[in-house]
């Protein structure tokens, strides 16, 4: 074979691959069908940034748990009970208190309002099971306070109405209670209350009672004409506590002893009472 005869196949073998090498993307020669939208290429994924870390030596503040904050918003903190009708603490200016007391020998209704931060005035109604009725004005002035302790001066006074006349009563309401037509009871109150939210408010109430009898009568004809009025003297003592049930309501329990120094009265009378004290 001559050189000219085998050189032609070699030239053809070298020329044919050139169009394939010039085509870098074979898919570019494909055209979409008529009516079809071109497909956008998928963007590459975004790089993932590393987590932020505080610089060395800096401690992030602790995060408070959300449930605790929610409980604080839904359940406000309760205030201590400061409504006292029988203890030494005053109600406070323009604050009001009421009490209902069931006991022996008296049933009592009491209401008071604070005209100053340390001064309360009020009214009370007492009855010996409807056999006598007594309306009294009340004044309480708190003059001293300490850690848990408080002191007050108190004065009660008013008039009483009895179902039976004095000369027809034999060991009745007057003899039992030591009360007469007008009664005045100044005294002092000492209280103690602990620091816990619902601590009991304990009290000791000591009074001197002056009674004015406008219906004196002679027991025998030899006694002559009775006086216009006759004075009597009693000593009253009460001890007990106001036990808070809520911020404005307390349960009351008290007991005491009344000493009568008038000879035609019972020498002594025990006093026991339970009740409720409220304020607003």
Tell me what pLDDT residue 224 has.
67
Contacts of 143 (CB under 8 A, 6+ apart): 118, 151, 152, 153
Strands (DSSP E) found in 128-169: 132-145, 149-162
Tell me what pLDDT residue 171 has.
86
Residue that wins the pLDDT comparison between 85 and 40 = 85
**pLDDT tier, 170 (very low <50, low <70, confident <90, very high otherwise):** confident
Give which of 247, 246, 212 is closest to 230, Cα–Cα. 212
Quick check: 43 pLDDT over 60? yes
Residue that wins the pLDDT comparison between 40 and 94 = 94
Contacts of 123 (CB under 8 A, 6+ apart): 110, 111, 112, 135, 136, 137, 138
Predicted structure pTM score? 0.70
**pLDDT tier, 74 (very low <50, low <70, confident <90, very high otherwise):** low
For residues 130-159, give the mean pLDDT. 93
Tell me what pLDDT residue 120 has.
97
Tell me what pLDDT residue 41 has.
62
Average pLDDT over the chain reads 83
Tell me what pLDDT residue 169 has.
86
């Amino acid at each position: 074979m001559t050189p000219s005869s085998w050189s032609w196949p070699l030239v053809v073998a070298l020329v044919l691959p050139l169009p394939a090498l010039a085509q870098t993307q074979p898919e570019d020669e494909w055209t979409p069908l008529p009516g079809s939208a071109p497909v956008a290429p998928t963007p590459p994924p975004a790089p993932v940034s590393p987590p932020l870390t505080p610089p060395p030596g800096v401690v992030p503040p602790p995060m408070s748990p959300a449930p605790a904050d929610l409980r604080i918003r839904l359940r406000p903190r309760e205030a201590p009970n400061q409504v006292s009708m029988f203890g030494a603490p005053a109600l406070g200016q323009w604050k009001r208190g009421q009490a209902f007391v069931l006991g022996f020998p008296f049933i009592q209704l009491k209401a008071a309002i604070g005209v100053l931060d340390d001064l309360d005035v009020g009214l009370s109604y007492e009855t010996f099971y409807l056999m006598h009725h007594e309306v009294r004005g009340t004044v309480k002035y708190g003059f001293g306070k300490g850690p848990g302790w408080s002191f007050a001066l108190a004065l009660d006074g008013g008039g009483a109405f009895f179902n039976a006349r004095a000369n027809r009563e034999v060991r009745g309401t007057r003899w039992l209670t030591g009360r007469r037509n007008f009664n005045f009871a100044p005294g002092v109150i000492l209280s103690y209350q602990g620091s816990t939210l619902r601590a009991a408010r304990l009290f000791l109430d000591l009074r001197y009672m002056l009674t004015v009898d406008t219906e004196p009568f002679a027991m025998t004809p030899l006694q002559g004409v009775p006086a216009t009025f006759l004075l009597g003297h009693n000593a009253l003592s009460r001890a007990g506590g106001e036990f808070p049930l809520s911020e404005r309501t307390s349960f009351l329990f008290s007991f005491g002893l009344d000493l009568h120094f008038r000879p035609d009265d019972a020498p002594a009378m025990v006093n026991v009472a339970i009740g409720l004290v409220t304020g607003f």
